[in-house]
Each structure stands twice: as structure tokens, then as C-alpha cells.
Structure 1
Amino acid sequence: MIHMGPPSPSRHALPPPRHRRTLSSTIIEESVAAAAALVQKWHPDDDAPASGSLFLHATETEHEEAQIFLRAAAALHRAMLFFASDVTHGGDGLVQAQALLQTAMRRLDLELQLLLDDMTQSDDIRAVVEAMMAAGYGKECISTFKSHRRAALTTELQPLLGLSPPYHLHKLTWEQLDGSIIPSWLAAATVAFNSLFAAEKDLCDAVFAGGNAAVGEAVFAAVANDQATSLLAVAEAAVARARRAPERLFRVLDVHDTLTEVLPGLLFVFGDSSEVAARAALVVAKVGEAARGTLGSLEAAIQKEPSKATAAGGAVHPLTRYVMNYLVFLADYQEGLALLVNDDYEQEPSSSSSPSSSIILHRLVSVLLGKLEAKAGCYRELALSYLFLANNTQYVANKVAGSGKLRGILGDGWAEAQSAKARAHVGVYVRAAWGKVMAAISGAEPPEAVEQAVMEAVAMQEQWVAADEETAEALKAAATAVVVPKYRMFYRRHGAAVSLTPGDVTTMVAALFAGPVGQV
């Protein structure tokens, strides 16, 4: 807003000439008189001018008058220069022309505000700006432009972000950040850096194209820099609040993916050497640091899991479920993950061409499998140890096979190899669980000793569980294939002396692993 002194009571009445009139002075005085009439008609202090605006919603005739007004303002500026050069006789004319020009500029400042509120007539905005700057009122013009466009950007961004500046993120819980602030930021940043700021830069470039290009760049920076750095600060603070908790990594990766997406546009609009570009680089670095730290925390947490904390009945361990579900989600961030951690994970010679995301996931799942081996060794019964390994290894294989992205990262044959290991564990489990029965039959022990061995083997396994129905069927089929044929031969020799028939043994094996299977 331009603040100028009140007009004189005579409202720019022309003083009588006090010097000998020349052709030039006559022309100038006539132009000032014509401008005075037009300025009077569109005086900014009038409550109800002839029309609400010189430019907005104007008819063709009214719009022509707006162009005349701009030319009149230019004429008043030329008159000032003319009278200023006449140090002997131009004093009164200079005062009059200056007063008129100030009033005309106040009118154009008002028009600029109206046009910036409407934003449908960008050519008129440029015309008003050029007229004000040409008349020496660039400072006032730029001040009005900046204040209006800053307010407009705030109005556009605030509903997207759901926050009003200043952003008191330190008062928000992680649940609030995770539930609403970060999702809103993801959308707001995408719209802002891909659309709003680019449009604002185009507007500044177009409006201030008539002058030095640096003017438009400076105006854009004044309008948009604070808004952009505030958006980046929200991301920076949210990532800092993640505190390397593994379950919060996905929000960190969401922020990284969004930053990666908008960074090219950000650099193009704000410039590689801008304050905003420097802040964006800092935030990206902090996001990377947070992601790497979180992955390190996850790996450490797996390694520190107490080996003696086993799962009852050889079931799938909660750690296995957590890590594998985590890796399934993590595989969705393959590209961003590779960018984030490429420098922190050394590639093994056998996988020198693999992306770092593959190495990371291989590493995490290898740490998990190693921990499962350690847990298996803590069971008292050898059979239960291998049942635990069979269940957990098959669960891992199923998770990989069921996730297209995770399967693609670890390799098509990886899940099949784990399934083969699970089948091998099943074989060892069967031999260990039914070893006494096989030994009793092969050792020609008394029939009652064989029956007792069968009952003990069944009783031992009654509370043991399978990872899923498919694994349960595989376990029972393997046991049936090993036990029943030999027991049938035993029964043929000692049928009169035993009460358990081969059919009974088959039924008893089939009844195992009938309890609830684990959840995904």
C-alpha cells in the first residue's frame, strides 16, 4: 500500500503560467491538464468511483480508458522531468505534476491489489507493475505484490497441510504426526513443488519481464522462499521425531520418496544455488541419515533378540512374523532405499552388480535366519528344534514367494531354496520325533515296548504346531510315510500281541497338528 500525503484542497488545480510559454511547455501543460481530469475521475479516495476498477470486469471502452490512464501516468512522470529541468520557471508545474503522479500511483496501487486478488488478468497486472516501476514507484509496487502473493500462497497451502504457521511440531505426538501431519505434508509438498511454486515463478517472470530479470527472481524469492523452507522444515522435524524406531521407517521413506519426486522441479524453480535448494539438500541428507540409522536399529534389534525366547510348540516366532512383514513393506521402497543407503552397505563380491536394496534385504533376512538357528538350539527336544526351523523357514519362504517385489529383489530361486531347506528340516524332525519307535521296531523289542514308544511319540507331539495347513499336511505325510509302513510290518509279525493297528497309528498321526495355525 502506498502511503502519501493528502492531496491539496484544490485537488491539483493548475496554477497560472508564470513564464513565457513555449511549444514544449504548452504540450506538457496540456497533458498534465488531461491527466488531472482522468486522475480526478478515478481518485483513490472516492468511495464510489465511476467503476469499481479500471481493469476488472471492464467493457472494451472501459478497458481502453484504463490504457489511457496508464499513458497519463507516464505523461505525468515526463512532465515532472520536464519541469525539474526548468530550474527557473518549472517549480509550480513540478509540484503539481508530482502531486498528480502520487495520486495516480495510489490509484494504480489499489488496482494492483484488486488484480492480485482476482488473478484472471495477468497482462493487466504486468501493465500496472510496469507503469508504477517506470514512474519510480517500484518499491511500493513490489511491496504490494509480495504481500498479496505471500498471503495467497499461505491460503493455498494451509488447507493442504492442515497446519497454520508457525508450526509447533514439538508439541505434537508421533501419533499425530503419523496420523495426519505427514500424510498431509506428502500431498502438500507434491502440489507445492510440482505446481504452486512453478506457477508463482512463471507469474513473477511474466510480470517483471520488462525490467531486469533479477527483479523477478528477487520478488519470487521473497514470495516463495519462506513458504518452501517452512514445508521442508515440517519434513525435517517429522523425520527427527521418528527417532530411529523401525516401525516409523516407512514414514521416513514416504518423506524421502516425495522429496526425490519434487527435487528436480524444486531445483529448476528455485535454482541450484538458492537457499531453498540448500535447505532441501540438508533435509534429504537428514532423511537418509534417519533411514540408515533405523535400518541399523532394526538389524541390531534382531541380533539382540534373546535366543532363549522360543515359541511354544515350535510355532512361527513373533520375531519371524514381524521381520518378514516388515521386509514385505520395505520392498515397496526398493528404488528410494537404494538411493538412501548405497554408500553404507558394502557389496559382496558375489553380488557386485546387485542394487544396495537387494543387499540390505538379504542382510536382514540372513540375520533373521541366523537368529532362528540360535533359537532352535535352545529347545530340549531335537525334534522340536527342527520342527521350529521347518515352520519358520517355510514361513519365510512363503512370505517371499507371496510378495512379487520381495521375490524379485531376493531372486526367483531364493524362496524355493528356503522351501527345500524347510523340507530337509521336516525330514530331520520326523527321524527325531519317531526315532525311538523306529529303533524299537528295528531292534525287535517286545510288542508292548513298541506300542509304548508310539504312545510316547504321539503324546510328545500333541502340543506341537505347524506354521500353516500346508506345512501340517507335509509334516503328517512325512511321518506317515516313515512310520506306518514299518509299523505295518511289525503288526504282521505281532498282531495278536498288540492293540494298536496300523490304521490306529495312521489316525493318530493324522490327528497331530490339528490345532490353530499361525496368523500371517
Structure 2
Amino acid sequence: MPRKGMRSLCFSPRTPSFSTYHQSTTSESTASSTNRRRFSESMIEQTIDAAATIIMKWDADTSAYAKVTSLFYESKREALQFIRSVNELQKTMHLLVSDQGSRSEKLVRAQILMQTAMKRLQKEFYQILSMNRAHLDPESISTRSSWTSARSSTSDFDDDDEIRTAGDSISEIEEVSSMAMSDLKLIADCMIASGYAKECMHIYKIIRKSIIDEGIYKLGIEKLSSSQVNKMDWDVLDLKIKNWLEAEKISIRTLFTGERILCDQVFATSDLIKESCFTEISKEAAILLFGFPELVAKTKKYSPEKMFRVLDMYSAISEDWKEIETIFSFESTSTVRLQSLDSLVRLSESVRSLLMDFESTIQKDSSKTMIPGGGLHPLTISSMNYLTLLADYSNILTDIISDWPPPAKSTLPASFLFSPDSEDSTAPAISVRFVWLILVLLCKLDGKAKHYKDVSLSYLFLANNLQHVISRVRKSNLQYILGEEWITKHEAKVKQFTSNYEPLAWGEVFASLPENPKAPITAGKAKDCFRKFNASFENAYWKQRSCIVPDSKLREEIKVSIGTKLVTLYRDFYNTHISTVGDERSARLFVRFSPEDIGNYFSDLFYGTVSSGSSSTSSSVSSHHRRQMLRSPLRV
């Protein structure tokens, strides 16, 4: 509306009619709309022209420079300007589509420019992913925790100097990695907003999947069938399991964690795209990784080491379960979580089966070879080695056997069925299981002790082997599993065995002396007692020299127990009746040992020394004692 008309309206002495006012305001509105349209069209043209300038500059089809040069590498400021121009162009295209009065040639031009821009951004996206493989490898990314956000805001950096300044506080590698992730996110956001998400995802998936697949391959994880695993020698399979344990650790802490962090940051604007990319990139490799333990668990191969390898794999997955759930939290990666759970179930079943095999191995041991000197049976040594190692996995075993029914007691002889150690219904399942396995071992050892013709040696055998069991329990985690009460009860059994051994092995020596060694007796009676003592002691000594007590503490306890009582009894008899047998010459004929000799001879016992031509493990002192005995010395 002309200004003159406006003035006459505002300052007219008369109030205008409604029709006059309506006509004037309608005319004003039409003129304003026309002006806005002209202004909008002008802005649209300016936006398209500005976008065309920078987009065509980097069109690889028309510019040799753009064909061989990277936009984001050459100038970050210009790259940010390129992104802004594309975003503005996208907004302009929306306006053109919604404005029915717009001329179609502008929209066509904008669409052509957009296609050119997207082609350039695809090239940049590919170049950044390819050229920065070293800086975007999962290990580098995983060392940067997820809180290290990608620099995605275009307002954060106005020029290259500011970008360089921002990186002064972190290492060069972290800076390059951070910049690459920031650039990728800028491009991804722009392409997704422009409707080119599919093209962006395609490039990302191809390159990143190759990195994950290559990483898994380098870690030694390969696709194997159940039959292939079954055909492997244990040594080969054992090496593969050791390799898997290391690979699993690296995969969770770096490979998959790094890829998830990168994927989350690059595609932060779209959960659907983020999930699609990560799933396609990592799912196949992850299932391959977590499927291997299930194959191992299904194998029928038996080796003592297999139990510990199975437990190691179970431990690896269970300890990393929270990370597995976090990394593969998408619904589309649920198969990875399920595969991990399947492997845990199979491994736990394998552990139970191997425990039953171990118990069966003990019960089926049919060797009747008597251990010389009543020493340690190989079954005792191997079984306790196995059990002490198992005890180191007590936390894992607690989970595995917590709901496992207790063992059937009918598998043991009736005399063992009512053992108080196996009747505690309140004890944890793991304690019950270990108590039971040791009980099976002790039962088997009890049967082997019966093969000794010398009953005293059978008791020494039982004492030695039970003492070894207790010693291994005390020096391992078994002490916490079995408890102090169990140890105390079985230490009492060792004392019972040694108490039974003493009178059987040395009873004749004690019986050769009178009950009251200081009571007066005739010279003939004294000589007869000395002769009997000489013969019985020499016989017992040579017999017991072949016995062995490997445990030094138990060995000293037996020596002290027998030696103290015998030396005390003999010293009283010796001091009282040495003069009764006659002069020194007569004494030499009947008295072959002094009380000190008895103590010295005892110090040489229970080392497993074999006489009469066999190799001797005794010290030079024992040789001296042997010569002394043969010469029948007399010390007054």
C-alpha cells in the first residue's frame, strides 16, 4: 500500500467504514506476501548458488584437483563449510518441495548438486575409514573410553589453528583418532539427514567388517566343525584352547569394545543404523569366537588337563559376561549372547562329567602293587594334585555344582557310608563334593593297605597317605573348602594309624624288657633280658630301616613317640642291671647297645634305606651306625 494511502487512513477525521478498512488490509497482506516470496526465492537462489560453488569445486568428475585430493585432509575449515552448505541445501530442497509455487528447475538443480555432494562425501567417508585404519583399529579406540566423545559440532572448530590447539592435551595418536571419528560422524550425520544413510552404511560395513574379520583371523580363531575338534590330538586341542583364552580376552577388551565405541559415536544420531552396522560387522566373528568352547565341551577326549582348560574357558566367559551383555546389547545381536550362554551350559556339563570320570578313575584303580616301605601311593599323589588345582577354581565350581545332586553313597563299602564328613546336609555343595572325592580316595587306599602281609606296614601306609592328603589340604584352598573340623578329625586318624603301627612294629622290643626295669633280678635273668633285647631290637631296626615316612613332621613324631619311650625304658634297665651281668668282659658278651646307641639308631629310621646290596638313601651317620651294630659295641 502506498504511503499516502496509509497516512490518509491513519489521520482521517472520519472513521472509515468496515468495507473500506477490509479492502485496505487485504491489499496490504497481498503485497507483503509477494515481497516475502520474492525475498524467499532470492534466499533460495543464494543458498543454491553458494552450495554449488563449494560442491562443484570438489566434484571429482569435473576437477582433476578434487579427484586426487581429500577435502577433509586439505582443510578442515572448508570441509565444515562443505557440510554446512549441504545441510542448508537440504533445508532449501524441503522448502522447494513444500512450496507449490516454486519453479521445478530450482529443485532439479538442487537435487543434482545434492547427488554430487553425496558422491563426494561417500568418497571422503571411504578415504577416512581406509587411510585411518591404524588409528581407528579397535585397540586404539578401546583405550579411549566411551566418554571420549567425537567432536561432532561444527561450531567447535572455526579454523585449522583451533583444531590443532584442541589436540595439544592428548597424544598425537589419540588426536588423529579423535579427528577421524569426528569427521566420520560429521559425514554420517550429513548423509543420513540427506537421505543417503544406505550408501553411508554400505561403505562403513564393508571396511569395518574386514577389520573385525582380519582381527579374529590374526587371533587364531577359525571355523571348526565338531568332527574336526574330535579328531584333534589333545596336545593340538590344548594349544587351540590356550590360544582361544588369549583371543577371547583381546576380543572383548579391544576388538569388539573398540568397534562398538566407534559405531556408537559415528552413528550417534540413529539407533537403528548404529545397531544395523554393528550387528553386521561383528555378529559373525563373535559367534565364531564364542562357539569354540561349546565344541570343546562336546568332545569325548579325556585328559587330566581338560578339566582345567574347560574351567578356564568357563571362567573367561563368566567373568566377561557383563561386558558381553553391554557390547552385544542390541536385539539383533541376541544370538551372540545366546551362543555365550550355550557355551557356559555345555562347559558346566563337561565339568560335571569330568568330575564323575575322576571319581570313577579312583574307584576303578586296580593296581595291587605294594609301595615299598609303606610310602605314598601314586594314586594319592596324582589325586591330591588334581584336587588342589581344582580348589583354585572353587568360586567357579560353586556356581557349576550348586544344584548338582549329592553323590550316591551306595558306591562305597558299608563301613564308609556313615562317615560324619559325608552326612552334613547343611554344608555347601562344593564342600560335600570335595569331601566325597577324598573319601572315595581314602576308601581305595584302605583297600590297598590290605595287600601288605605285615600289618604294621599297612598302618604306616595309611598314616603316610592320609598325612599327605592333610598336608596338601592345609597348603591349598582345600582348607577353606573342607574346613578346620575336617582337618582336625583326619589328623586324629593319622595318630590312630601311628598308634596302631607302634606296638605291631616295636612290640617285641618293648616286651623283651621287664615291666619294671629297675626291679632287682638275678644275673641270669638280666643276661637273658639283654640277649632278647639285642635280638629283637636288631631285628626291628633292620626291618624298619626299609620303611619310609616322607612327611618330616610325621617322621619326627613317630621317632619321638617310640624312641623316647624305648630309650627311657632301656636306660632304666641298662643303668640298673649293667653291673649285674658281671665284669666288663662279660658285659661285652651280653650288652650290645648303650641307651645313646638306641637314640642314634632311631635318628636313622624312616628314610627308606634298603640294606643288603641295594642303593642306600641314608646318610654317612647311618653307615656308621651299621658298622657299630655289626661290631656289637659296648659303651659304659
Normalising to structure 1: TM-score of the pair? 0.82
2:315 is the counterpart of 1:257 = yes
Aligned residues: 488
Residues 218/351 of structure 1: CA separation in 2 closer, same or farther (3 Å cut): farther
Letter in 1 for 2:340: A
Q: CA deviation at 1:421?
A: 1.8
* Secondary structure of the structure 1 residue equivalent to 2:392: helix
* Secondary structure of the structure 1 residue equivalent to 2:189: helix
Letter in 2 for 1:53: S
Which protein is bigger by CA-based radius of gyration?
Answer: 2
Q: Larger deviation: 320-329 or 382-391?
A: 320-329
Matches of residues 439-450 of structure 1 in structure 2 within 5 Å? 439-441=511-513, 448-450=531-533
The C-alpha deviation readout for 1:285-319, integer Å capped at 9, x for no partner, is 01101111111111111111126243221111111
CA distance in 2, matches of 1:293, 1:141: 50
Q: Return the match for 2:487 from 403, 415, 434.
A: 415
Q: CA deviation at 1:486?
A: 4.1
Q: CA deviation at 1:185?
A: 2.9
Q: Return the match for 2:266 from 181, 196, 207.
A: 207
CA distance in 2, matches of 1:47, 1:468: 87
CA distance in 2, matches of 1:154, 1:217: 18
CA distance in 1, matches of 2:295, 2:442: 35
Q: Larger deviation: 72-81 or 423-432?
A: 72-81
Partner of 2:198: 139
Letter in 2 for 1:333: Y
Residues 194 and 262 in structure 1, CA contact (< 8 A), matched pair in contact too: no
Residues 31 and 72 in structure 1, CA contact (< 8 A), matched pair in contact too: yes
Partner of 2:468: 395
Q: CA deviation at 1:488?
A: 4.4
CA distance in 2, matches of 1:113, 1:188: 29
Letter in 2 for 1:289: E
Q: Return the match for 1:114 from 127, 133, 151.
A: 127
2:290 is the counterpart of 1:232 = yes
2:489 is the counterpart of 1:433 = no
User: Percentage identity across aligned positions?
Assistant: 31
Residues 51 and 86 in structure 2, CA contact (< 8 A), matched pair in contact too: no
Partner of 1:452: 535
Residues 449 and 462 in structure 2, CA contact (< 8 A), matched pair in contact too: yes
Partner of 1:381: 454
CA distance in 2, matches of 1:218, 1:354: 50
* Secondary structure of the structure 2 residue equivalent to 1:500: coil
Q: CA deviation at 1:37?
A: 3.6
Letter in 2 for 1:331: A
Residues 375 and 550 in structure 2, CA contact (< 8 A), matched pair in contact too: yes
RMSD: 3.5
Partner of 1:320: 380
Matches of residues 53-452 of structure 1 in structure 2 within 5 Å? 53-56=70-73, 58-59=75-76, 61-71=77-87, 74=90, 78=94, 90=104, 97-117=110-130, 118=132, 119-121=177-179, 122-159=181-218, 161=219, 163=220, 165-166=222-223, 170=229, 173-179=233-239, 181-194=240-253, 196-211=255-270, 213-241=271-299, 243-271=301-329, 274-306=334-366, 308-346=368-406, 351-403=424-476, 405-441=477-513, 448-452=531-535
Q: CA deviation at 1:513?
A: 1.8
* Secondary structure of the structure 1 residue equivalent to 2:178: coil
Partner of 1:17: none
The C-alpha deviation readout for 1:28-62, integer Å capped at 9, x for no partner, is 56655544443332124566428843334734x32
Residues 201 and 273 in structure 2, CA contact (< 8 A), matched pair in contact too: no
Extract unaligned runs of 5+ from structure 1: 1-20
Partner of 1:500: 592
Q: CA deviation at 1:401?
A: 1.6
Partner of 1:49: 66
Normalising to structure 2: TM-score of the pair? 0.68
Extract unaligned runs of 5+ from structure 2: 1-36, 133-176, 408-420, 516-524, 582-586, 610-616, 618-636
The C-alpha deviation readout for 1:225-272, integer Å capped at 9, x for no partner, is 112112102333344458343322111111111111111221233238
* Secondary structure of the structure 2 residue equivalent to 1:197: helix
2:561 is the counterpart of 1:478 = yes
Residues 455 and 504 in structure 2, CA contact (< 8 A), matched pair in contact too: yes
Q: CA deviation at 1:352?
A: 4.0
CA distance in 2, matches of 1:223, 1:22: 50
CA distance in 2, matches of 1:102, 1:363: 75
Residues 51/23 of structure 1: CA separation in 2 closer, same or farther (3 Å cut): farther
Residues 475/490 of structure 1: CA separation in 2 closer, same or farther (3 Å cut): same
CA distance in 2, matches of 1:272, 1:343: 31
* Secondary structure of the structure 2 residue equivalent to 1:434: helix
CA distance in 1, matches of 2:286, 2:118: 32
Partner of 1:514: 607
Letter in 2 for 1:354: A
CA distance in 1, matches of 2:223, 2:65: 39
Residues 291 and 340 in structure 2, CA contact (< 8 A), matched pair in contact too: no
CA distance in 2, matches of 1:73, 1:232: 47
Q: CA deviation at 1:406?
A: 1.7
The C-alpha deviation readout for 1:60-93, integer Å capped at 9, x for no partner, is x32432323533662686599589x899x84x77
* Secondary structure of the structure 2 residue equivalent to 1:357: helix
Residues 229 and 276 in structure 1, CA contact (< 8 A), matched pair in contact too: yes
CA distance in 1, matches of 2:480, 2:306: 24
Partner of 2:545: 462
CA distance in 2, matches of 1:50, 1:78: 30
Q: Return the match for 1:38 from 54, 58, 82.
A: 54
Residues 89 and 114 in structure 2, CA contact (< 8 A), matched pair in contact too: yes
Residues 506/349 of structure 1: CA separation in 2 closer, same or farther (3 Å cut): closer
CA distance in 1, matches of 2:501, 2:69: 90
Residues 188 and 266 in structure 2, CA contact (< 8 A), matched pair in contact too: yes
Q: CA deviation at 1:402?
A: 1.8
Residues 32 and 75 in structure 1, CA contact (< 8 A), matched pair in contact too: no
Partner of 2:520: none
Letter in 1 for 2:267: F
CA distance in 2, matches of 1:223, 1:86: 46
* Secondary structure of the structure 1 residue equivalent to 2:72: coil
Residues 362/58 of structure 1: CA separation in 2 closer, same or farther (3 Å cut): farther
CA distance in 2, matches of 1:475, 1:47: 98
Residues 242 and 249 in structure 1, CA contact (< 8 A), matched pair in contact too: no
Residues 287 and 336 in structure 2, CA contact (< 8 A), matched pair in contact too: yes
The C-alpha deviation readout for 1:431-468, integer Å capped at 9, x for no partner, is 11112333444698775454333222222222211122
Residues 62/165 of structure 1: CA separation in 2 closer, same or farther (3 Å cut): farther
CA distance in 2, matches of 1:72, 1:172: 63
Q: Larger deviation: 196-205 or 358-367?
A: 196-205
CA distance in 2, matches of 1:390, 1:259: 42
CA distance in 2, matches of 1:156, 1:164: 9
Residues 80/149 of structure 1: CA separation in 2 closer, same or farther (3 Å cut): farther
Q: Larger deviation: 113-122 or 359-368?
A: 113-122
* Secondary structure of the structure 2 residue equivalent to 1:55: helix
